[in-house]
């Protein structure tokens, strides 16, 4: 059984390498190595299989969230993300039923008021968020 678990571990590592480290099955390699150690210690095969599945699931639950955060890397804000916090001017009335338009830094955007607030044309607004292709804005005092 030791060779079986070593082959499973090697196969899982090869699949992980082929998939360019997308964290597909590295936990199976860890589980297989633990089971290989158990086989070397002459532990019953049923326990080896249980250990394989238990260790694989445990490693996946622990490692995947941590690795996903690490592999995501530094996210660079898009140009639209940089609009948040900027001041613009309403160029087309915003109502609870219809999107309006806002000009921010010389660019025209579709916009809605925060909490579906109606905002009249020529009102200064602050960009609070971006949802899809529209800005969410709130009026500001002069």
CATH code for the domain in which residue 122 is found: 2.40.50.140
pLDDT in tens, 26-51: 889 999 999 999 999 999 999 999 99
pLDDT class for 75, splitting at 50, 70, 90?
low
CA distance 111 to 100: 5
* 68 and 94 housed in the same domain: no
- What is the Cα Rg of the chain in Å? 27
* 45 and 100 housed in the same domain: no
Q: Structural domain of residue 109, as residue ranges? A: 81-139
* 85 and 42 housed in the same domain: no
3-state secondary structure of 74: coil
* 132 and 103 housed in the same domain: yes
Please tell me the pTM assigned to this model: 0.50
């Amino acid at each position: 059984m030791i060779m079986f678990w070593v082959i499973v571990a090697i196969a899982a590592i090869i699949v992980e390498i082929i998939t360019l480290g997308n964290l597909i099955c590295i936990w199976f390699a860890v589980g297989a190595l633990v089971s290989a150690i158990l086989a070397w210690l002459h532990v019953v095969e049923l326990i080896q299989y249980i250990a394989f599945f238990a260790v694989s699931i445990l490693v996946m639950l622990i490692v995947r969230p941590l690795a996903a955060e690490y592999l995501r890397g530094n996210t660079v804000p898009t140009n639209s993300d940089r609009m948040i916090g900027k001041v613009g001017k309403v160029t087309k009335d915003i109502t609870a039923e219809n999107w309006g338009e806002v000009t921010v830094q010389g660019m025209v955007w579709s916009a809605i008021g925060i909490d579906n607030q109606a905002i009249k044309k020529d009102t200064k607004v602050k960009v609070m968020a971006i949802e899809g292709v529209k800005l969410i804005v709130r009026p500001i005092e002069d």
